[in-house]
Amino acid sequence: MIHQNRKLYNKNFSQEKYQFFLKDIENTFDYKPPFKIAETPVFIPKDLKNKLVNACNDILEVINKPNFKELTNGAFFTEDRIVPNEDEHSKFLQLDFGICKDENGNLVPKLIELQGFPSLYFFQHLLGSMYRKHFGNVIPENYSQHVNGITSKEYVTLLQQEIVGETNPKQVILLEIEPEKQATAIDFYATEKALGIKILCISKLIKKGKELFYLDDESKEIKILKIYNRIIFDELDQRKGLKTQFSFLDKVDIEWIGHPNWFYRISKYTMPLLKGDYVPKSFYLDKLAEIPEDLENYVLKPLYSFAGAGVEIHVTRKMIDEIKDKSNYLLQEKVAYAPIIETMDVPAKCEVRMMLMHNSKTNKTEIVSNLIRISKGEMVGVKYNKDKTWVGGSTGFFEN
């Protein structure tokens, strides 16, 4: 997005460099990520960085309201979703912004979705270091993945503080469903390496009363004190044949690092509660007194789905009329992503995920990293970008 940086990067890019870059990532854990990693990082100018920070602060004002939990109790849709021992703050927060242009041609972020759940905190750290290693001669030193100016070392130290803290790392686990089969497995491996914690499938948890254990490599039982939860409930619901001793509804003596309830509270359900320059108009479908005439300017989203499942981008009145339970849907103003990243053929659009974390020492939720998805398709998802180049997962380097 910064013309001189983009021009220099594109001029110095080669397919050979890119393949070395991908191979280096693959060799780090002897694992090839199943998702597309983009040919380029994104250079984010100061003005857009400031707008992204302001947008995050506006949203945090709502999330930090004393009555936020009361406002989001409806997000659970059934009471058997509520996990015991909820804490006061979401440890993790992801805010996804489409980058658009206003009427004057200035870049502006627009919120697409938000989630009170972890993201690829450790893989993004690895990815940023790999872009610097292989393309560092065209990435200025005064540009950073971190808007708050922390160093890479300070970033990892902060993650260690919030996920492990003073606990023995052996007694902290990253919890998933068959983690080695997940598309994000490389992030788990990077987490394990950085923190020394155990990656564990939920089926391997041993429950004894209110205590949880796992077997280490020597078949010794290790008591679990903290769970860094990475399980998406949509997937857990679909895995009917998965045999487990532990249910999320069990009252157990562990500390959740990222309490599961925030997955529901901070989600698409939150969108209609938000207002401001950086938030598209959003409505609970069942609360709409009148359906807008210009439906071509809206998208229809299921409230309780993940990773874009069920999103309709070509909305019709007939489609809405045929929905039996309108309380399960959200009608949201379309966001027009701007093609602003110059590539070797057509310009690409991008979505910036601002990755936040609640700092227990400062008692504040802070922006700590970012994730970017570059797209040339109708939507950001993989199926809209098949066989395209200069698309996929990336990271942003912010101008200081």
CB 109 within 8 A of CB 102: no
Residue 177 has pLDDT above 70, yes or no: yes
Model confidence pTM above 0.75: yes
Instruction: Say if strands 392-394 and 107-115 run parallel, antiparallel, or are unpaired.
Output: unpaired
Of 118-132, 185-199, 296-310, the poorest mean pLDDT is in 296-310
Taking each helix axis as running N to C, give the angle between helix 15-28 and helix 121-135, from 0 to 180 degrees, rounded to the nearest 10: 140
Q: What is the rounded distance in angstroms from the CA atom of residue 158 to the CA atom of residue 154?
A: 6
Q: What is the C-alpha end-to-end distance of the chain, expressed in Å?
A: 14
Query: What beta strand segments (E) does 29-84 contain?
Result: 42-44
> 50 Cβ partners below 8 Å, 6+ apart?
none
Angstrom distance (rounded) from CA 25 to CA 322: 47
For the chain, which residues make up each domain, given as ranges? 3-276+346-399, 281-334
pLDDT tens column, 236-290:
888 888 999 999 999 999 999 999 999 999 999 999 999 999 999 999 999 998 9
CB 229 within 8 A of CB 179: no
pLDDT in tens, 127-173: 999 999 999 899 999 999 999 889 999 999 999 999 999 999 999 99
- Give 67's contacts (C-beta < 8 A, 6+ positions apart): none
Q: Give the number of other CB atoms < 10 A from CB of residue 55.
A: 23
Backbone angles phi, psi at 74, to 5 degrees: -70, -10
Q: Tell me how far apart the alpha carbons of residues 361 and 205 are, in angstroms, rounded to a whole number.
A: 30
